[in-house]
Amino acid sequence: MLDGQRRDRLRKAVAECLRAPRATGWAEAMCVAAVAALGSVDAAALTLRTDSHGEEMIGASEPWAARLEETQYTLGEGPGVEAFGTGGPVLVADIRVEQARWPGFADAASASGAAAMFAFPLQIGGIRLGTLDLYRRLVGGLSSAELGDASVLAELATLALLEDAERTGPDDLHAVISYQDVNVATGMLAVYLRVSLEDAFSRLRAHAYATDTPILELARDVLARRIPLDRLVD
Amino acid sequence: MTATASGEERPYAARVSQVPHRLAVVLNDVTTTLVERHDADAVLRLVTTACTDLLGATATGVMLVDPRGGIRVVSASDEHARFVELLQAHTEQGPCVESIHTGGVVNSPDLAAETERWPEFVPAAMRAGFRSIHAIPMRLDGRTVGGVNLLHTSTWTLSRSDEMLARVLADLATLGLAQERDLRRADRLAEQTLQSLNDRVELAQAVGMVAGSLNVDPDRARAVLVERARQDRTTLRGVARAVTTGALTPAELAPQDQDPRSSRGEDMGRSTS
């Protein structure tokens, strides 16, 4: 069966990449391996997601992909967000034509040079943990062979994630960029404005969007009291 | 009066005696090992032997799906190298793999008729002296975790009751492995990881609420939550959850020497101007 051979080949390529010592961790190595395995993809990022606004980017093949992940988090939309929500891959051969689907992200991604994007959920059984997001600078879809490979890579990333969780304990997953400060700021804002956590988060997000500030930066401004909280009232 | 709800004519005792003695012995051996010794390898050996004794298989091989991909032969009735090699060499194509991928039984009473279906497996199997194969999937929680393969040197058709017995034996092998090798490990780890991600969100939100209420920085707020967990002999997760759900108001967490009412965070907006 062809599928078995491809899987085996990818498994070996990924194992090779993960074995090489890398200070930045397995997730970045995994992303680099994914880009190397998929000819037409320029960058990859692995992000853990939850339904409760918890989000942690655990690895990216380059800073460009990391920034696009944060854009998705700030806006609360994009292929990765959608793939996590639906549990299926989200394949976008041309981001420019997706303005109706993701009004903010389509523009932001195009502006930063992303033309196509493919997101695959990291899931085992019915449990979803995040997404593997692949970015391309040129318009165009994945070939069917690449599509198969990308699904296998997402599976391998899930298993690597679980192995890492087993090695270090699930509480010690290493995030490259943790958005937890956003959640701290959310809590603070909820108390100050006497609104629900959900409301407080929406206001942070809206303010980040309106002022074109990454949400993490805004959250840190809130925590450092660099921004008067009453400015976030509606 | 022996009522016969099932419409069965014979009395109970007569029906029980229909259960072949050898089957009872095998089932007893396997279940005793399962409940008393937790020895998966012993269960696998008993199952492969039973497939040979009860189902007339010339050779029996158990294959397991490696969660990282790939399929491994973990037990064989006939350690004869040729047989194990045959199974191990055909983890890409053939009835065993097909059964694992589809999750259904794959019956091939006469391999000679299947050369087009499995162009590599059939010649290799026939060279090794086999003429028939039956592949029974090993299922757990809706997933296929492996398969039991029965091989015969002549053409062979499994009767319905033999197929049922083969399924029972495959299930017993699965149960033996589930106990020892913990086939649910990946699911459990995924659950823990998800739980941990959600806990971190809740803790961060609680830290923010305490920081805002007591007008302290997040590190101090976290310390306050940790201290409360210690006092209450509960988990940090528990305290965080109590705060985010409103069961515990952040002001109640103020250190004893402070008046909680004086630190409701009224001056937070001003503190930055």
CB B92 within 8 A of CB B100: no
* Same domain as A101, residue A69: yes
Chain centroid, CA B34 distance in Å: 16
β-strand A127-136 against A43-49: which pairing, if any?
A: antiparallel
Shared-domain flag, residues A207 and A135: no
Q: Is B15-183 CATH 3.30.450.40?
A: yes
- Show residues of chain A in contact with B89, CB under 8 Å: none
Per-residue pLDDT at B153 exceeds 80: yes
Q: What pLDDT, on a 0 to 100 scale, did the predictor assign at position B14? A: 53
Mean pLDDT in chain A?
88
Angle CA B246–B251–B257, to nearest 5: 150
The band of B86, judged by pLDDT with boundaries at 50, 70 and 90, is: confident
Q: State the Cα torsion B262-B266-B267-B273 to the nearest 10°.
A: 180
The dihedral formed by the CA atoms of B252, B257, B258 and B261, expressed in degrees to the nearest 10: 50
Indicate whether A32 and A135 sit together in one domain.
yes
At residue A226 the predicted structure's pLDDT band, cuts being 50, 70 and 90, is confident
Asked if the interface predicted TM-score (ipTM) of this complex is over 0.95, the answer is no
The CATH number that applies at residue A96 is 3.30.450.40
- When pLDDT is averaged across residues B135-149 and rounded to a whole number, the result is 90
pLDDT band at A200 (very low <50, low <70, confident <90, very high): very high
Contact B212 A187 (CB under 8 A): yes
Of the candidate ranges A86-90, A136-140, B2-6, the one whose mean pLDDT is the lowest: B2-6
The residue behind tokens 């699911």 is: B187
Measured CA to CA, the distance from residue B180 to residue B173 in angstroms comes to: 11
A136 and A212 both lie in a single domain: no
- What percentage of chain B has pLDDT greater than the value 70? 81
Which of A7, A56, A185 minimises the CB distance to B69?
A7
Nearest by CB to B208, from A1, A165, A185: name it: A185
Q: Which residue has the higher pLDDT, B14 or A76?
A: A76
- Domain regions of chain B by residue span: 15-183, 186-266
Q: Which of residues 142-171 of A touch B (CB under 8 A)?
A: 152, 155-156, 158-159, 161-162, 165-166, 170-171
CA dist., res. B233 & res. A85, Å (int): 37
pLDDT at B20: 79
**Statement to judge: residues A156 and A43 lie in one domain:** yes
Question: Who among A180, A189, A227 is closest to B200 (CB)?
Answer: A180
What's the one-letter identity of residue B259?
D
Q: What is the pLDDT of residue A195?
A: 92
User: Which pLDDT does position A171 carry in this prediction?
Assistant: 66
**A185 vs A172, residue with greater confidence:** A185
The most confident of A92-106, B78-92, B186-200, by mean pLDDT: A92-106
> In this structure, are A144 and A198 located in the same domain?
no
Look at residue B6 and tell me whether its pLDDT is greater than 60: no
Please tell me whether residues A17 and A108 are part of one structural domain.
Answer: yes
A91 beta partners: A118
Average pLDDT of the segment spanning A197-221: 91
Statement to judge: residues A172 and A185 lie in one domain: no
B16 or A15, greater pLDDT: A15
Greater confidence (B167 vs A124) lies with: B167
B193, A186: Cβ pair inside 8 Å? no
Of the ranges A46-55, B50-59, B72-81, B111-120, which one carries the lowest mean pLDDT score?
B72-81
Domains contained in chain A, number: 2
Confidence check: pLDDT of B188 > 60: yes
Arithmetic mean of pLDDT, B7-12: 52
Residue A13 has pLDDT above 70, yes or no: yes
Dump the DSSP string for B130-186: --EEEEEEEEETTEEEEEEEEEESS-----HHHHHHHHHHHHHHHHHHHHHT-TTHH
**CB < 8 Å & 24+ apart, contacts of A218-226:** A218/A185, A219/A179, A219/A181, A219/A182, A219/A184, A219/A185, A219/A186, A220/A181, A220/A185, A222/A185, A222/A188, A222/A189, A223/A181, A223/A184, A223/A185, A223/A188, A223/B211, A223/B217, A223/B218, A225/B268, A225/B271, A225/B272, A226/B272
Residues from chain B contacting residue A53 (CB–CB below 8 Å)? 201
Enclosing domain of residue A159: 2-177
- CA contacts within 13 A on the Cβ side of A105: 25
**Number of A–B residue contacts, CB under 8 Å:** 147
Q: Are residues A165 and A191 in the same domain?
A: no
